[in-house]
């Protein structure tokens, strides 16, 4: 079975298993998703969802965040970890959005990655979930599961992104990555995958 065939089978199997491919971060607009995704680095989505209501109540948009004090933002996001770095990033990215993008969260990978603290994973999530463009969000679940499926043998997220862009149907790639997160949490866990429960066991290279 070729990598293309495995990728297509994986898309269909996960679509059947997890029909609702939704981001687990809670947000109301592009700015909120950008902030929540930055906070989610080295932190659980569940924790971020507990922190963001108070943060967004005080700083609901790029203009208010750009004028925030670092110390105040640090206090609001302290439980997310790496809060000092994240606070600086949130304020600086907000200033850049105002200065370089007329206050609107940009809709391209290159533009988004020009913002402080925004990498390709975050940028792909924004362009996929907000702007409906083909996107491949390479997080730890995506890296682990696609490697086990035999779609690559890489450890570099950007290389994996390029490979998956070639293998996945463009219209399916964003939802596929969301479903990988759900599958990684429920079944294909890092140390002890529950292969007997996996909807992809028939064609997963780990089981062949």
Could you tell me if 142 and 14 are in contact, meaning their C-beta atoms sit under 8 angstroms apart? no
> In this model, does residue 204 exceed pLDDT 60?
yes
**How far does CA 83 lie from the centroid of its chain?**
19
What's the mean per-residue pLDDT of the chain?
Answer: 96
**Which pLDDT tens digit goes with each residue over 39-95?**
999 999 999 999 999 999 999 999 999 999 999 999 999 999 999 999 999 999 999
DSSP H helical ranges for 79-172: 83-101, 109-113, 120-129, 140-148, 157-167
Classify the C-alpha dihedral 107-102-37-32 as positive or negative: negative
DSSP designation for 191: S
What's the confidence (pLDDT) of residue 208? Answer: 57
Q: Annotated catalytic, 139? A: yes
Q: Taking Cα atoms as reference points, which of 128, 52, 137 lies closest to residue 90?
A: 52
Instruction: Tell me the pLDDT band of 183, cut-offs 50, 70 and 90.
Output: very high
Q: Rounded to 5 degrees, what angle do the CA atoms 131, 133, 138 make?
A: 105
pLDDT at residue 22 tops 90: no
Question: Residues 45, 61, 72, 139: which is the catalytic one?
Answer: 139
The residue annotated as part of the active site, out of 121, 129, 194, 205, is 121
Cα 41 to Cα 38: distance, rounded to the nearest angstrom: 6
Please, which pLDDT band fits residue 96 given cuts at 50, 70 and 90? very high
Q: Is the pTM of this model over 0.85?
A: yes
């Amino acid at each position: 079975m070729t990598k293309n065939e495995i990728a297509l089978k994986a898309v269909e199997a996960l679509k059947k298993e997890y029909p609702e491919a939704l981001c687990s971060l809670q947000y109301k607009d592009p700015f909120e998703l950008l902030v929540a995704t930055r906070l989610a680095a080295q932190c659980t989505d569940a924790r971020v969802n507990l922190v963001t209501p108070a943060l967004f109540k005080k700083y609901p948009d790029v203009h208010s965040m750009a004028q925030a004090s670092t110390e105040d933002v640090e206090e609001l996001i302290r439980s997310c970890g790496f809060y000092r770095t994240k606070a600086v990033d949130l304020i600086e990215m907000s200033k850049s959005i105002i200065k370089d993008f007329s206050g609107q969260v940009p809709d391209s990978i290159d533009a988004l990655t020009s913002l402080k603290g925004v990498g390709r994973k975050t940028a792909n999530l924004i362009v996929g979930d907000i702007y409906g463009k083909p996107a491949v969000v390479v997080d730890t679940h995506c890296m682990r599961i696609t490697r086990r499926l035999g779609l690559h043998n890489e450890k570099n997220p950007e290389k994996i992104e390029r490979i998956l862009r070639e293998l996945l149907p463009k219209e399916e790639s964003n939802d596929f990555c969301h479903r990988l997160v759900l599958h990684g949490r429920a079944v294909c866990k890092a140390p002890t995958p529950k292969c007997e429960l996996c909807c992809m066991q028939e064609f997963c290279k780990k089981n062949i």
